[in-house]
Amino acid sequence: MYLEIKDLTVLYDRAMVLNGVSLTVGKGEFVSLVGPNGAGKTTLLRAIAGLVKWEKDTLKGTRAGRITLEGSVKFDGEEVTNLPAHEIVRRGLILCPERGRPFREMTVLDNLRAGAFGCKDKKVVKENLERVYHLFPRLKERENQISGTLSGGERFMLTIGRAMMSQPKLFMIDEPSVGLAPKVKEDLFARVKEIYEQGSTILMTEQDVSFAFDLAGRNYVISKGHLVGEGTAEDLLADESLRKTYLGL
């Protein structure tokens, strides 16, 4: 398996956010992770990307730093559990964070350049930039605009583009649709599909179950830090109790 997570447990102080989560993503797969607010979706992606560990190390000795992190994350056959976040990025495991979080006081172009930090070959950076601009022509128009002034949809394009500049092998997208208008949402998911079809592996969390199930080949349902279901959209929808309790469909 490309990405293999075993018994991942995360506690913030004494609040258990993830409780022994195990999941896998195969190469070339599109996997979605759905579940209600506060289920632990974001924390799971943050833990995989090494941000929970970073938070724990950085805040060591403060109240907010009492974080427990157990379990193992294997990517492409290599144990990455204890690697620092910036090293994990170098191996091609890229997170596009919740709400995008662009560097708001920097221009669109500078944001994209920040995404290309790990890539020292200027030619490759330029190629990637072309690719991003091809996918999101709007970003080229706004190249020199301060990114704090972008609209919600543009901001998400920017952060997807920024993550693409880091040359992802496995692309983790955290709740792309939050706060977007339905029309923008549709367009956005079309782009995500395009990126997938160009040959990426994607692990995406999403609250909008119908969109997620449309796109993904396999899905996990998470609630209160536990995985409660796994399978294709048909399998999950066939299970009446799961559908009613967790998916709200």
Partner 1 sequence: MVEAILINGLVLGGMYAILAVGFALVFGVAKILNMAHTAFYMVGAFLILIMTIMLGFPSLPSIVLAIAIMGITGSVIYKLFLDRVKEHPVAVMIISVGVAILFQEVLLIGFGGHFRGIDPFVRGFVEIAGIRATYQQVIAIATSLVALVAIRLLLSKTRVGNAIRAVAEDREIANVMGIDVSRMCVITMGISAVLATVAGAVVAPIFMVHPLMWMHPLTIVLAAVVLGGLGSIKGSILGAFILGFAETAVVFLVPMGAFLRGAVGLSVMVVVLLLRPEGLFGVVFEEERL
Residue 20, φ and ψ in degrees, nearest 5:
55, 55
Q: Which is nearer to partner 1, 28 or 84 (CB)?
A: 84
- Exposed, middle or buried by CB within 10 Å (0-12, 13-18, 19+), for 230? middle
Q: Which is nearer to partner 1, 122 or 240 (CB)?
A: 122
**In the complex, minimum distance from the CB of residue 111 to partner 1, in angstroms, rounded to a whole number:** 8
Closest residue by Cα to residue 218 from 29, 6, 41:
29
Q: Which is nearer to partner 1, 58 or 210 (CB)?
A: 58
**In the complex, minimum distance from the CB of residue 174 to partner 1, in angstroms, rounded to a whole number:** 10
**Beta-strand (E) ranges in 162-241?**
170-174, 201-206, 218-223, 226-231
**In the complex, minimum distance from the CB of residue 49 to partner 1, in angstroms, rounded to a whole number:** 6
Closest residue by Cα to residue 36 from 230, 239, 221:
221
Residue 103 touching partner 1 (CB under 8 A): yes
Q: Which residue is associated with the tokens 């941000």?
A: 51
170-174 and 93-96: which strand pairing?
parallel
Q: Which is nearer to partner 1, 14 or 122 (CB)?
A: 122
Per-residue binding letters, 140-159, with partner 1 (x by CB under 8 A): --------x-----------
Applying CB under 8 A, the residues found at the interface with partner 1 are 49-51, 54-55, 58-62, 65, 84-86, 89-90, 94-95, 97, 99, 101, 103-106, 110, 113-115, 117-118, 120, 148, 162-163, 166
